[in-house]
Each structure stands twice: as C-alpha cells, then as structure tokens.
Amino acid sequence: MASSPCGGGNFDCGLEIQTRSVEQTLIPLVSQITTLINHKDKLKKTEKTLRAIQRVGQAVSVAVGRFVAVGEAIAAENEDLKDEMGLACFEARRAGTAIAQLTDVSSLEQCEGDGRSTVFSDRTGMVKAARMLLSSVTKVLVLADCIVIKQIISSRNKVLVTLEQLERVSTFQEFVQIFSQFGNEMVEFAHLTGDRQNDLKDEKKRARMAAARAVLEKCTMMLLTASKTCLRHPDCESARINKEAVFQRMRLALEQVIEIVTDTRSGGEAKALPVSIYAGIKDFKVKVEGLRDSLYCVSCEAVAAQLEALVEKTEDFTDSAYTSHEQRETIIQLCQITRQETKQLISTWRHATDEVELSILKTCQSVSDLRRELHRVAVGRATELLKLHSDHLVLQALKASGGDGNLEAVADYAGTLTEHKEHLVETCRLLCHISGTEPLEITCIHAEETFRVIGPQIISAAQTLALHPTSKIAKENLDVFCEAWESQLCDMAILLKEINDVFEGRRGALVELFSHKHSANLKTVKAAKLDAEEQTTIAKLGLELCLLTSDVDSEVERWDEQDHEMVRLCQIISSMAYSMYLFTSLSFMKNLLDEDRILNLSETEKLSAACQQLKVCAKTPVQGKSAIFQKVDSSIQNTKGILTVVVYLLPICNKLIRKCKSERSCQASPQHWREKQLSTTVSEETLNGKGSSGFGVKSLEQHMANLTFLESK
C-alpha cells in the first residue's frame, strides 16, 4: 500500500480503503454514527426520541465491543501487528464507550441536573468520538487486511521456491514429485489471489490482477510440457529456450500480483499506463469545454500543445504499414481540421467574441470525428485479422512440418507466424488507443504482450519437434503453445466486442452471468463419472433445452424485421439467459389490453425470478459429485424455464410492435420507438442486482464529508 499500515508510526486517520470488504464493513457503522450526530439542534426531546437515540448509541457500543474482541484475537495471533492492532482496538473501545455515555439520555433532566454531558449538550464531543471511532475501526480493518496481503506474499514465496527447484531438476521422477507440490501451492495461490481480485475496489487493479492470473493459468500447463520436453531432450537448445521463456514469464506474473496487492513496485515507483488517444481526447474536450466558463487555469498555448501531443499519437495509425492510403489520408485530414478549429477557438476566446460557444462545439465535434475514424480503423483491422486467423493454417503447417522433421519448412512458416505476430501486436496497440476505459486498455496491453511472447515460444517448440519428430512429448508441447495462441485470439474477439460496446454506449447492457475465464479459479475439479440414471436425466434435460432453443429460433424467424433489437437479444439467449431481463422491461407493455397485460406481467415476473435463480446458482461454488450434479441439473431447469417464457412472449410482442407501427405510421419518425426504448433501458446497477438503497463509494464519502462538515461547525 502507498502508506503501509503494517509499519510503525503514529495513528493515521487518513487510511486509504483498498478493498470492498473493508468498505462494506464500515458502511453500517458510518450510517449509525451519522444518525446520532446529524440530529437537528432544536430537536423536540420526546420520550420516543430519547429512547431511539439511546438505542442507537447502545447498538454502536455493543457492536464495537464485539469488533474489538475479534481485533484483539487477531493481534494475539500476529506478533508483528500486535502493538498497532492493540492501540487501534484500545482507541475504538474508548470511542465506543464515549458514544454510549453521550447517548445515555433516558432521563435527560437528571443528566442536566448532574452536569453530565450528552449528545444534546456536547455536540463537539460527539463528533470527536465519532471520528475517533471511525478512524480506529478503519485502522483495525486495514491492519487485518495486511494479514491477507501477507498470506498472498507467503504463498507467492512458496511458489517461487518450488519454481526454482523445478527449474533445476534432472530426472523425471524428481520432476513429478516437485511438480505435484507446485500444483498444490498454485491452487492455494489461485484461491488467495482470486478472492483478492474480487475484493479490490480499483477496477484498474482488478484488470491487472486478472491479466497476471491469466498468465499463471496458461503458463502452468506450458511449464509442465516444456519441462518434460527439456528432460526428454536435455541437449536440445530450442527446448531449453522454450522452457526458460515459460519460467521467466511466470516469475514476472508472480511479481506483478505482489505489486498489485501491496500497491508498490520493485523499482520503487508506480508504473503509469501510457496515455491513450481516447484518454487524451477526453481530457482535451474537458479542457476545451472548460473555457466556456473559464473553469480551468489553462493557457490557450497549453490547449494547443495538448492537441499536438494527441496528433502525434495518431502516428501509430498513420505510420503503420497495414493502414490503407485512404485511411491514412482521412486521419491526417481530420487532424488538420481539429487543428484549424482549435486555432479558431483560441482566437475567439482571446477576443471574447460571441463566437466562443460555437467554436467550442466545432472543436469538440472535430476531435470526436477523429476518434470515430480511429475507432473504425482499429476495429476494422482487428476484425479482418480475426477472420484471417480463424482457420489457424500457419499453426497447422508448423505442426505438420515439425512432425515431418522438415526444419526448412518450419523456418519458412516461422517467418510467416512472426509477421502475423507483429501484425497482431500492432493491432492490440491500436485497440488500446481507442478502448474507451482503463481496464480495457490494460486488457489490450496484456493481449499485446501475450502475442509478443507466445509467438517465439511456438517457433522454438516447432523447432524442437522438427529435431525430434518422433517425440510425443515434443508434439504435446507444441500443441499446448498453439492452443494458448488460439485461446488468445478468442480473448481478442471478446475484447473487441467489449470495446465496441463501450464505443456504442452498450456497456453494461448484458449482465455478467458467468465469470470471465481470466477470473476463473486455477483449481481443476476431479472428473466424476455419472451413473446411468444421472446420465439419462442430464441427457433428457439437454434435449428439452435444445428443443426450446429451436422454438425460440422458430419464433424469431417469423419477424419481418430481422435486425430488430428484440431479435438480436433473443438470438443470444442460449449463452446470455439473464440478458433477457432487458426485454421484459420494454415500455410498450403498457399498450396491452388489461387481460393481456396481467398475463404478460405474470410471465415477466416468472422470467425475472428464474433469471435471478440462474444467476445465484451459477455463482454458488460447489464440490463433490452429488453437489456438482445438482448444480448442473438446477442450472438447466432454470434455463428451461427462461426459454419457455421467452417462447410465450415473443409472438405477443411481435404482434404488438406491428400494431404500434400500423397505428402511428407517418405520425412519428422511424427512430421514435427506438429512442423511446432507450429512454427506459434498465440501468447497469439494476441489472447487476443493485438497488437504489444500497451504499457505495459515493455514499461512504458523503458520510465522511458530513462528519468533517459537522466538526468544522
């Protein structure tokens, strides 16, 4: 962490909360304390009010007592944190006691007669106690979080030690024994880092953690086959190079995980992401629009310089050998237009003319046009590349040439693969420029690095096979690296879709029903053989699910408008069942007759409930044959229920849309209905199961601000 709470020093009330779990633990306490100190000065002191205040104060005191007991137990088990944790617990207990005393107002007249302070007579004391309680509780939580960090570091250290042992083994028997230990340690490390990834508040850190864990996941299998190949062919230089590259990549990924969880870098300085064109455009537009009210103390020269820096970054597009002449000319022309509009804006702003507003709009529009063109070029190139590599012909040729022992052919195809790798690396760099969010930028950087590293590894594995064409281990090793390449291409396709969704404003439209593969646990579940009855049950459910999917397709084919939004949603129902919740919330339901509306509402309620059940079921971890079977069975049953309702609703909605179109033909623009739907689209928070009553980061910060404000008064 930036200011590690694990070290010594004075008590710090400005601790940074890094994880969701710490934040969520604090929220109820913040809410209760805010209730106590946020009362009106002239509050009517009725018996009911007094009892309520005392009840809240006692609840806070009791909760703090239990909390401190846990903190003290943690301190007893962790000698290096004992002093700091003990001090924090002492401060928390003292603050809790003070709050209990200040809220002991059951007999206010007696309190005032005794001269005893209460929440009414000593508001400053209440605020002071509240701040002390919040800071001390936060300190305890952050110190406890340090223990989790230490567990991750300890787990990483064990993995590193075993990794070094694996790198030095000289016999198969020794390798098998140590690799078994290594596998167990990696499973532990995967559990710890997976939990940490989900708990991190910072989405950039979560993305970096996901990338590092993805590397470890893929490299574990590579390490196995590369090491076996090197043991089988100890004098083969290409096998040694292949193996060393895997070990080096694993060490870098392990180091990156520690950098994330400790919020530090081995070099001592934080590594900043390179500024993308999207981020530069966003910042440029903010400052340009700020000129409207002189919101920023930025000189016009600084705005012009920022634009030039932005234009310079577009050279990644214009200098590329893969950019067509027409695309290059369009980008250069749009850059020149943006320069001209910015120059005109600076002139009108300096002379304070009436044209400032128009110049601001024109400048923002021109830079938006530039962004749109860059997005079109990058996405277009990525799409073409994915189509080009969909057949994996070069990989197949490398496998065949290696199996034939044809070193010359392997060298030829290696050159082709190197060209493809450079093209993919450059394309990932362009996608990073237009990705739209920092987490997606991080994913693009990870994809770029993966192609850069795996390309040469495939070549060295192919060379090894060509030198030893009858070696099953060498063939297996090449297959593993080729599969990693193919897997990264699939990930790139997913990344491309996410970038498009962000650009077109669709981000969050589909709920993450299933966890992304990079966030998956590294632990592999032991295969369990089903008995005949279980196999029959699953097969029957699968067949019924398939038939229902066919019913959905059949209904969709009857629609006149095959490019309609509802058709698009229904076509992806089999893989994204929960996304159908969007379709249940469309506003044209209100045009139904009363009896139809009742039926539709009833069915959509069933759909919502079934989707929620499916989501919960998918996220619930299970172990053991019986539990896994039950989870699969429940998931399929829930999906069947969803598809059954969809099949029922599709023809009714299709009929209704046709009716709406016929009734208002020539009375509204073709985009009217779509705009109306967009105005009622379900929010991302609602789809993710978050209600408006939930507390988040902003509400926590608001509570903190209230405390600071009250103290200043």
pLDDT exceeds cutoff 60 at 282:
yes
Alpha helices in 233-352 (DSSP H): 237-262, 277-290, 300-313, 315-318, 325-350
- Reported as a pLDDT band with limits 50, 70 and 90, residue 684 is very low
Which residue has better confidence, 55 or 333?
A: 333
CA angle 661, 665, 671 (to 5 degrees): 70
Residue 346's closest CA among 403, 396, 388, 308? 308
Give the whole-angstrom CA distance, residue 430 versus residue 314: 9
Residue 209 near residue 189 (C-beta atoms within 8 A): no
- Coil, strand or helix at 686: helix
Does the pLDDT value for residue 569 go beyond 80?
Answer: no
Rounded Cα–Cα distance for residues 135 and 129 (Å):
10
Identity of residue 657:
I
> Minimum mean pLDDT among 113-127, 362-376, 455-469, 527-541: which range?
527-541
How does pLDDT run across 466-487, given as a tens digit for each residue? 999 999 999 999 999 999 999 9
Q: Nearest-5° angle of CA 200, CA 442, CA 276? A: 125
Q: What is the rounded CA–CA span in Å between residue 700 and residue 692?
A: 14
CA 632 to each of CA 522, 598, 659: distance values in angstroms, whole numbers, following the listed order:
20, 33, 41
- Classify residue 663 by its DSSP letter: H
User: 581, 589, 615: which is closest to 509 by C-alpha?
Assistant: 581
CA–CA dist 636, 701 (Å, integer): 42
Provide the pLDDT for residue 28.
Answer: 74
Question: 170-189, pLDDT tens digit by residue?
Answer: 898 899 889 889 988 998 99
What is the arithmetic mean of pLDDT over 411-426?
96
What's the rounded mean pLDDT across residues 581-586?
A: 34
Residues 6+ apart with CB under 8 A from 212: 193, 253, 254, 256, 257, 260
Q: From CA 286, how far away is CA 558, in angstroms rounded? A: 47
The H-assigned helical ranges of 15-122 are 20-37, 47-77, 82-102, 108-114
Residue 687: the pLDDT is 29
Q: What share of the chain is helix, strand, coil (3-state, %, to 5)?
A: 75, 0, 25
Which of 100, 134, 101, 145 shows the shortest CA–CA distance to 5?
145
The answer to whether the beta carbons of residues 568 and 552 sit under 8 Å apart is no
Which DSSP string corresponds to 128-174? Answer: HHHHHHHHHHHHHHHHHHHHHHHHHHHHHHHHHHHHHHHHH--SHHH
Domains of the chain: 20-105+121-147 (1.20.120.230), 169-272+391-510+696-711 (1.20.120.230), 277-379 (no CATH), 532-666 (1.20.120.230)
The identity of residue 298, as a single letter, is: V
Residues with Cβ within 8 Å of residue 251, at least 6 apart in sequence = 160, 163
pLDDT of 5 higher than 50: no
Give yes or no for residue 531 having a pLDDT over 70. no
What is the predicted pLDDT for the residue at 248? 95
For 405-418, how does the pLDDT look when each residue is reduced to its tens digit (9 = 90+)?
999 999 999 999 99
